[in-house]
Chain A
Amino acid sequence: MNRPTNAIAVEGLTKRFGETTAIEDLSFTVEGGELFGLLGPNGAGKSTLINILCTLLGPTEGTARVNGHDVTSETGAVRDSLGIVFQEPAIDEELTGAENLAFHARMYGKRKAERQQRIPEVLDLVELAEVADDPVENYSGGMQRRLEIGRGLMHEPDVLFLDEPTTGLDARTRRDTWEYIERLNEESGVSIVITTHYMDEADFLCERVAVMDQGEVVAIDSPAALKASLGGDIIALGLANDGGELFERLDAQSWVREYTPTEDGVAVTMARGEQRVADLVRLADDAGAAIESVDLQKPSLENVFLSLTGSTISEREASDAAESHTEAADEDSSMERPTETAEATEAPGAVE
């Protein structure tokens, strides 16, 4: 049962807050050294899962192991094995960057010699050596995030959790943060688990993604395999008439995998859509269809989520936000906040 090579092993994990079920019967494993993503809308249960894995919450049912250690019976060993960057900033802004790291090192039992070696190393890694002795309140949003990531690595954990690492960061800083995370995973070999509700983030960063919706994992695979499961590219034709004989002609084409009539035309699924645009337009023209628009859609994780759950991530978040105001308002502290508020409150304060 206990395979220490797994960074994380979750079995039948369930967490309820009163009547609300935050996560239901989760089972998955993350291998050592993997860059793993938990993708899902706010309210899908990602943060609850992270909080259980880092021993801040106890599970209602099931087991979870981090680096082979049980999160309920071996909390000390679990805490030693993991580093975490929380969704909301958790730094002491009155202390300097170096002091924050020193505080962390002491809490993890690192003696002076080790601290003196490790603190400059980490500051170099996250490129904050020059501002090490400035109070953190003078740091920009991106610098604070980097300090937190560095701090999470201070005690050389086996698993690093990043809970929504780029929420509230501007586009350039996001991109930089992605590159840090990727390099970190490659160079240090630390297993990284990130939660995100950004499709592009999961697609760019993660080797494997667990798609979460309403407290359950609905799919788990590499982004490429998840996208491939959709069956290919989609060309959406906007038509001004009923399409003439287009549909019969489509039936006869071997390269057409499937087509579905839409409100204003037809969506055709095929492999390598970019090479078929001309064919399709010619075919429609011959069939007497009046083309208004052509839109080639490459499969994205957004489409994957849509096909798995029947709604888009933003639709889910909108309905969850509405629910949480009425039903689960008292238990809402454990759930993620809606994106808009998160971004508004976590906007970078200073200039880099």
Chain B
Amino acid sequence: MKLVAPLGIYGLWLRDVKRFLRTPSQIVGSLVFPLLFLVFLSFGFGGAAIPGLPEGIDYLQYLVPGIMGFTMLLGASFAGLAILSDQDVGFLKEILVAPVSRTSIVLGRIAGGSTTAIVQAVLVFLLSIPLGFEIAGWLSIPLAAVFLALIAITFVGFGIALASQFSDSEGFSLIVQFIVFPLFFLSGAIYPIEGLPTVVQYLALVNPLTYGVDGLRAALVGSSSFPLVVDLGALVISSIVMVALGAYLFERVEAV
């Protein structure tokens, strides 16, 4: 078996995309949470003086990249859940018995999960424009796309690694709640991490989402806490680590 089977990866990706497009209720459902945060936080804190907010940056401008990052987290946890629901309905066996390496299966699932997560984040972005979000320049788009892809790979990889440690979707769903929100609050998505206690700031610095949100902000708003290279480097490293971890842990999954 070849380590990377392009046709198998494509098949897995296509399946995820088809399933996603066929359940509009799920697409709408996945956007409810991020949009609630976006609307109420931006209205509620719009006029407030938030400590550490870069000068000349409106709170909505600051918030949109953060909420996009949050959307990616939800999308990634959904990708982890998809593996477990495949296991629940028996379809995982069909995947595991095929002459395709586990690494290819993980890559295919990351491709599928990332695509759907990115689509959700882009929808949030588009819906933020009527709310008053202004993009820094059209060159922002390709740069933001790179960051979205790296965030997706990092967290979908993490979701798969985590899902491989569970045998049923209920346990996983429960744990994910306790992971998604700390990652979100410790990423500078809704307020600058400079305002946090020093110890907590360190936690934020090891959170890949911090660099993801910062990179998106650099791309879309033109303001960031770290140099762009740092954001990019951190995310490339976290992507590689998570893909490797996902592949390593999934290798040990038994289908029966």
Interface of A toward B, CB cutoff 8 Å: 47, 51, 54-57, 75-76, 79-80, 84, 86, 88-95, 99, 102-104, 106-111, 151, 333-334
12 A-B pairs besides A51-B255, A91-B91, A334-B256 with CB distance below 8 A are: A47-B256, A51-B256, A80-B99, A89-B89, A93-B89, A94-B19, A94-B23, A99-B18, A103-B11, A107-B100, A109-B99, A333-B256
- 14 A-B pairs, CB-CB below 8 angstroms? A56-B96, A56-B256, A76-B99, A79-B1, A79-B97, A79-B98, A89-B89, A93-B89, A94-B23, A103-B11, A103-B14, A106-B10, A107-B99, A110-B7
Alpha-carbon distance between A203 and B93 when the two chains are bound, in angstroms: 29
Collect the chain B residues with CB atoms within 8 Å of residue A94's CB: 18-19, 22-23
Alpha-carbon distance between A75 and B102 when the two chains are bound, in angstroms: 12
Name the residue of chain A whose CB is nearest to the CB of B95.
A107
Is B11 touching A106 in the complex (CB atoms < 8 A)? yes
- A72 CB to closest chain B CB, in angstroms? 14
Interface of B toward A, CB cutoff 8 Å: 1, 5, 7-8, 10-12, 14-15, 18-19, 22-23, 89-91, 93-100, 254-256
4 shortest interchain CB distances as A-B pairs: A106-B11, A76-B1, A107-B98, A79-B99
Collect the chain B residues with CB atoms within 8 Å of residue A109's CB: 5, 7-8, 99
Is B90 touching A106 in the complex (CB atoms < 8 A)? no
Given A75-B1, A95-B18, A99-B18, residue A90 in contact with residue B94 (CB < 8 A): yes
Alpha-carbon distance between A91 and B11 when the two chains are bound, in angstroms: 15
Given A79-B97, A92-B15, residue A106 in contact with residue B8 (CB < 8 A): yes
Alpha-carbon distance between A292 and B44 when the two chains are bound, in angstroms: 91
Given A56-B96, A75-B1, A107-B95, residue A95 in contact with residue B7 (CB < 8 A): no
- A105 CB to closest chain B CB, in angstroms? 8
Is A90 touching B90 in the complex (CB atoms < 8 A)? yes
Alpha-carbon distance between A266 and B255 when the two chains are bound, in angstroms: 51
Is B97 touching A54 in the complex (CB atoms < 8 A)? yes
Q: Is the interface of B mostly helix, strand, loop or mixed?
A: helix
Collect the chain B residues with CB atoms within 8 Å of residue A334's CB: 256
Given A75-B1, A88-B90, residue A55 in contact with residue B97 (CB < 8 A): yes
Alpha-carbon distance between A103 and B12 when the two chains are bound, in angstroms: 7
Given A76-B99, A79-B99, residue A89 in contact with residue B90 (CB < 8 A): yes
Alpha-carbon distance between A136 and B93 when the two chains are bound, in angstroms: 18
- B255 CB to closest chain A CB, in angstroms? 5
Name the residue of chain A whose CB is nearest to the CB of B86.
A92
Alpha-carbon distance between A90 and B10 when the two chains are bound, in angstroms: 20
Alpha-carbon distance between A91 and B23 when the two chains are bound, in angstroms: 18
Collect the chain A residues with CB atoms within 8 Å of residue B8's CB: 106-107, 109
Alpha-carbon distance between A86 and B10 when the two chains are bound, in angstroms: 24
Collect the chain A residues with CB atoms within 8 Å of residue B95's CB: 107
Alpha-carbon distance between A151 and B93 when the two chains are bound, in angstroms: 13
Alpha-carbon distance between A111 and B11 when the two chains are bound, in angstroms: 11
Is B98 touching A104 in the complex (CB atoms < 8 A)? yes
Alpha-carbon distance between A262 and B12 when the two chains are bound, in angstroms: 62
Alpha-carbon distance between A54 and B256 when the two chains are bound, in angstroms: 12
Is B93 touching A56 in the complex (CB atoms < 8 A)? yes
- B201 CB to closest chain A CB, in angstroms? 44
From B14, B90, B93, B98, A108 is in contact (CB under 8 Å) with B98
Alpha-carbon distance between A54 and B8 when the two chains are bound, in angstroms: 19
Alpha-carbon distance between A79 and B255 when the two chains are bound, in angstroms: 15
Alpha-carbon distance between A43 and B169 when the two chains are bound, in angstroms: 26
Alpha-carbon distance between A271 and B90 when the two chains are bound, in angstroms: 48
Collect the chain B residues with CB atoms within 8 Å of residue A93's CB: 89
Collect the chain A residues with CB atoms within 8 Å of residue B12's CB: 107
Most-contacted residue by chain B among A79, A80, A109, A111 (CB, 10 A):
A109
Alpha-carbon distance between A157 and B25 when the two chains are bound, in angstroms: 39
Given A57-B256, A106-B7, residue A95 in contact with residue B94 (CB < 8 A): no
Collect the chain A residues with CB atoms within 8 Å of residue B254's CB: 56-57
Alpha-carbon distance between A151 and B256 when the two chains are bound, in angstroms: 20
Given A79-B97, A88-B90, residue A56 in contact with residue B5 (CB < 8 A): no
Alpha-carbon distance between A94 and B91 when the two chains are bound, in angstroms: 12
Alpha-carbon distance between A93 and B22 when the two chains are bound, in angstroms: 12
Collect the chain A residues with CB atoms within 8 Å of residue B256's CB: 47, 51, 56-57, 333-334
Collect the chain A residues with CB atoms within 8 Å of residue B15's CB: 92, 95, 99, 103
Most-contacted residue by chain B among A99, A103, A151 (CB, 10 A):
A103
Alpha-carbon distance between A110 and B98 when the two chains are bound, in angstroms: 12
- A113 CB to closest chain B CB, in angstroms? 13
Most-contacted residue by chain B among A86, A91, A106 (CB, 10 A):
A106
- B144 CB to closest chain A CB, in angstroms? 31
Name the residue of chain B whose CB is nearest to the CB of A151.
B94
Collect the chain B residues with CB atoms within 8 Å of residue A103's CB: 11, 14-15
